[in-house]
Structure 1
């Protein structure tokens, strides 16, 4: 049975919120202004969901996650009231129905979201199937052909609301599917949004995968009636065999060859330019040293799964050395900038995805976003290229379901 990895799937936004709350966000992300001392984030805030999809079938909403005050996992109803999940089983048992009726075509539904780190799912036409195992909630895993949600058109947004404000993002880390945008209005009245596609961007994305040789079209999943449902991320493509496991080998080999004789300099913190690490390849290992010459961490030669998932051989613990170096390497591999720039991270964007061997899924996503921002892989926030909005004193959040054109 395919099981989701909570660490992999939610670490981007959760790490962002945690870092900001502990005043180390500047080390990893551009965080924005701190919350004024007199401001107090309320227990719940409104989330307005607007259905501009043009689709006529019913929409179902779910607000699932972890209650920050208690650490319990569960769901929130339309009023923002938290409900803890009951115990699960082996095999998994059905979870309580946490669905909320969503907006009809051209309409808006407002729910309240509590201080949570979680997801807002939305589905078209059918309710999603959630189950409870002994270890907790089993979420949809459509890379598994037998998953009961495989033929449902759905997507989700990730968010964290805590005493330091709201972070909400659109995400394509796991899949590219039903399009949507997110936004937040602060108490001062300013609204920021992200996640909208360019006109024709939804179909254009799938056309781009179909036109790309090397197995990339194998990421696309369709329903028996011909409806295009989604494209799996390349990580899941590799894991399921839809994308060849060797898809990144040529680029990885060239990187390994280059840095056997050249030094890779990593400056992982934007607010600490004096902190640098120096990488050189020796055999099957890339060793990183600090300014004193001491080895601080080492990486074995990665494979495509490690690159696309930013895990395994590119694991990124929540520390101040290996994690920041790993996330920089992960971004460089996915964006194929490691051969063109020996000083990382390369944050300009101009040279991203230019090599013939690259993360063509991420390239196609970014090219079709109206603002160029996306979460197409786990550390797409390196250099602030992620589709994330934040406000330290949020008044209202927004989720807009966009057309599939």
Structure 2
């Protein structure tokens, strides 16, 4: 099943309504042409690598809810029934452009992913529950030693949302874009010059286990850096990596209120957090307790789940996503009014999400999806248009 970021852009209308997301859903007016069943995706290979490139468009067909894949023409193919143990999936690969070349394919109305790999095709399998995605935090995953990455997108009647994501890992550099009906383009995901090697060098220099997030191949090729969520899962990062900051936050808000204003368009909707024992209780303006959070751990913070679960509701979810962003960016001690949407206070504490900090520092526009709720405060690497003429995915240099 698609996970992590895909849940964020699966239903933009719902996200905007329920979570106060920064996405603005543009419904085509009668004067606009309806979004067609497929749109062109221009693939450009500026990687500088000589490896063959393989591209995959995988996801859920929104008109039917079926999981499957699309060929280069945008034609949908449903996955066959899987098995237990998992059975090989059909070869859904599309030959990508060689270095210095471009190729245009078509993508359908999916909520899904566009994978690309260098040198080898990816291995996909099917269980009785659907597609098994690569899980390279597992050393026995068949894709562990393949250099690859992916973008996530939703194309529906309200337009295109396409992102550059690092929620699961930082790997092969790429950028995404969309051409609007007036001919202008929006782009995001490009690294600064030297940003790829700059990120890995910075991570190697960060004490406390952060360098252990980096995975290399036996030939010395740097493949990726795992997210800190997977760093905890694999033991690369200590489970206590955020404890000092968590303890300080809990201490501070035992004697003062943490004010959360989760909706940018509803400035009068405020919730007030106060710690009592191991629990932070949030009250509304009437003083009634509306939700409570147990003291989180690093896994809850980096994964934005567990003790910081964020259901699609109008209270707990919006508060939780705000807390998650505040913990990852370490802004909760310097600003009792959250979310902190200016970047001046981000990642200044010595205890922070250094993976996210170092990714944002290397992005040309400062935008990234370095953790699941990085869109709080509009810091995400995502572009949207309600009447997309063409999408772009550019494979960038490894420098």
**TM-score of the two chains, using structure 1 as the length reference:** 0.96
1:12 correspondence with 2:5: no
Query: How many pairs are equivalent?
Result: 398
**Which digits, 9 at most, give the CA deviation of each residue in 1:69-89, with x for residues without a partner?**
000101011010111111111
1:388 correspondence with 2:382: yes
**SS state at 2:343 partner:** coil
**Which digits, 9 at most, give the CA deviation of each residue in 1:168-222, with x for residues without a partner?**
0000000000000000001111100000000000000001111100000000000
Q: Which residue of 1 aligns with 2:20?
A: 27
CA RMSD of aligned residues (A): 1.2
1:87 correspondence with 2:95: no
1:224 correspondence with 2:186: no
**SS state at 1:384 partner:** coil
Q: How many angstroms does 1:7 deviate by?
A: 4.5
Gapped regions of structure 2 (runs ≥ 5): none
Contact 2:2 2:133 in 1 (8 A): no
Contact 1:16 1:29 in 2 (8 A): no
1:247 correspondence with 2:279: no
**SS state at 2:10 partner:** helix
Q: How many angstroms does 1:16 deviate by?
A: 2.8
**Which digits, 9 at most, give the CA deviation of each residue in 1:254-288, with x for residues without a partner?**
00000011100000000000100000001111110
**Which digits, 9 at most, give the CA deviation of each residue in 1:203-259, with x for residues without a partner?**
000011111000000000000000000000000000110111110000001000000
Query: Among residues 126, 140, 144, which one is paired with 1:150 in the alignment?
Result: 144
Question: For residues 177-196 of structure 1, what are the structure 2 equivalents within 5 Å?
Answer: 177-196=171-190
Query: Among residues 31, 56, 63, which one is paired with 1:38 in the alignment?
Result: 31
Q: Cα gap change, 1:25/1:323 in structure 2, threshold over 3 Å: closer, same or farther? A: closer
Q: How many angstroms does 1:18 deviate by?
A: 3.9
**Which digits, 9 at most, give the CA deviation of each residue in 1:16-54, with x for residues without a partner?**
35445xxx2793214165433332101100000000000
Q: Which residue of 2 aligns with 1:172?
A: 166
Question: For residues 324-403 of structure 1, what are the structure 2 equivalents within 5 Å?
Answer: 324-403=318-397
Moved over 6 A (4+): none
Contact 1:184 1:389 in 2 (8 A): yes
Gapped regions of structure 1 (runs ≥ 5): none
Q: Which residue of 2 aligns with 1:296?
A: 290
- Distance between the aligned counterparts of 1:319 and 1:262, measured in 2? 26
Q: How many angstroms does 1:11 deviate by?
A: 1.5
Contact 1:219 1:237 in 2 (8 A): yes
Query: Among residues 311, 315, 318, which one is paired with 1:321 in the alignment?
Result: 315
**SS state at 2:29 partner:** coil
Q: How many angstroms does 1:131 deviate by?
A: 0.5
